[in-house]
Amino acid sequence: MNMNIGKDALRDQRAKMLAAAPDWRASDAHVNPRVAIGSIIAMWLIYFVTTTGLALMSDASDQWSYAGRRAIVVTAGILCTFVLYQLLQRAQPQSFGARLASALGAAIPLVIIYATINLLVFYYWFPIADSAEIMAEMQVKHPGSWEIVLILDSAIRWYFFFAVWAALYVALGYANEMRAVERRANHFRLEAKNAQLRALHYQVNPHFLFNTLNSLSTLVMRGSKSEAESMIMNLSSFLRSSLAIDPEQLVSLDEEIALQRLYLDIEQTRFPDRLQVEVAVPDELKNACLPVLILQPIIENAIKYGVGPSKGKIAIRLTASSEYGLLVLRIENDIDPKAPVPNAGTGLGLGNVRERLLTRYGPSAGCEWGPSDDGGFAVSLWLPLARERC
């Protein structure tokens, strides 16, 4: 199995998922009924208070009777705008332009109804002082259609009032829609991130299994039956523990080291006289959280390139420290200068470690490797220090 091909396919799939537009839902553009109805009432009350206040300040006569008439038409305006709200709530074209156009179009018949009510109140039901004079003048200018002219004239002026509220409603709905789309996009990003974490984790297990089976094959070919049986039992214990773990799970540093000791028990069977393990972890960092099996590929490489080719004892040292709010782990292994230089690896193991850290923590985590000052090889990784329950 070519792991690089699988990794590239994963990246392509993740890129397609993130690039895909989240599905559109008409319900996303709905405005909270309290907000919509509240805005209707507020708009008409502001109009009523402003108009009445200006009329009273002008010292015009009989303004209280006008205020009563105005209250009637304001109530009609609230009802007409509420009907407009009901229409807009049920008609939700996908594009913003179509939604705005339908809102402005739906306002036309309702503003005509409102203008008609306005005419009835001020000219028929509760006529104002100069209503008879205005009606007579309009009948002369527009005989047979003067009422329609008055209604249309009033509707044109009131249309912009209705249109402003309709545009406000569409804008609020669009804002709600954008928030919903962003929430779903974030959900897709999280799912893609979790899928990548799982894939990277499951790439570790085949990598480890391949190396272990190679080691087991060597023992069988050498006729080391007891060592082979011991390695099989240790392998079974390790796989039972590692495969039962959620790949997205965080574990304490103490638990992670315990998992690695299961693996080192396997390798101790291969190299009983060559493998030496040293762990130095302060007590206050034993409960620090980190991704499960994040150390596995690093320990594997230390065995493969440090212990495997050597003839003498090779030490693998794990140290932990806290620096600037980060948990810093360093894994070093000796290198036998007399041992043959092993073939260069593919970099899959350490690359997975780095990518898992960057995928989960972003730029606040990382992994570096290279020769150490004493001639060995060292891998350092760091991640945000968290001591909460993992």
Residue pLDDT, tens place only, 299-312: 988 988 888 788 88
* DSSP-assigned letter for residue 142: S
CA 85 to chain centre: 32
* DSSP-assigned letter for residue 163: H
So what's the pLDDT on residue 149? Answer: 86
- How confident is the prediction for the chain on average, in pLDDT? 80
Is pLDDT at 4 greater than 80 in this prediction? no
| 191-232 tens-digit pLDDT | 665 655 555 555 555 656 776 777 788 778 877 778 788 778
Q: What H or E segment, with its residue span, contains residue 16?
A: helix 3-19
Is pLDDT at 133 greater than 80 in this prediction? no
Nearest to 306 by CA among 279, 280, 348, 267: 267
β-pairing verdict for 326-333 and 314-323: antiparallel
Distance CA 297, CA 352 (A): 8
So what's the pLDDT on residue 24? Answer: 57
Is pLDDT at 326 greater than 80 in this prediction? yes
Nearest to 197 by CA among 367, 348, 357: 357
This prediction has a pTM of: 0.48
Question: Given pLDDT bands bounded at 50, 70 and 90, which one contains residue 159?
Answer: very high
Residues facing residue 26 across a β-bridge: none
- From-to residues of CATH 3.30.565.10 in the chain: 249-384
Is pLDDT at 88 greater than 70 in this prediction? yes
So what's the pLDDT on residue 25? Answer: 66
So what's the pLDDT on residue 148? Answer: 87
Is pLDDT at 80 greater than 70 in this prediction? yes
| 105-130 tens-digit pLDDT | 999 999 999 999 988 888 888 777 67
DSSP string, 235-252: HHHHHHHHHTS-TT-EEE
Contact present, 356 and 201 (Cβ < 8 Å): yes
Distance CA 211, CA 292 (A): 20
Question: Given pLDDT bands bounded at 50, 70 and 90, which one contains residue 188?
Answer: low
The CATH number fitting domain 249-384, selected from 3.40.630.10, 3.40.50.300, 3.30.565.10, 3.40.50.720: 3.30.565.10
Rounded to an integer, the average pLDDT of 70-87 is: 92
Question: Given pLDDT bands bounded at 50, 70 and 90, which one contains residue 342?
Answer: low
Is pLDDT at 244 greater than 60 in this prediction? yes
Distance CA 147, CA 327 (A): 82
- The one-letter code for the residue type at 328 is V
So what's the pLDDT on residue 147? Answer: 84
Nearest to 235 by CA among 268, 257, 203: 268
Contact present, 330 and 289 (Cβ < 8 Å): no
So what's the pLDDT on residue 364? Answer: 92
So what's the pLDDT on residue 270? Answer: 74
Distance CA 271, CA 280 (A): 22
Q: How far apart are the first and last CA of the chain?
A: 33
- What is the C-alpha radius of gyration for the chain, rounded to an integer number of angstroms? 38
The first and second tokens of residue 140, run together, are 């002369």
Distance CA 7, CA 354 (A): 14
So what's the pLDDT on residue 230? Answer: 79
Q: Which residues contact 116 (CB under 8 A, 6 or more apart)?
A: 151
Rounded to an integer, the average pLDDT of 274-281 is: 92
Percentage above 90 pLDDT, the chain = 27
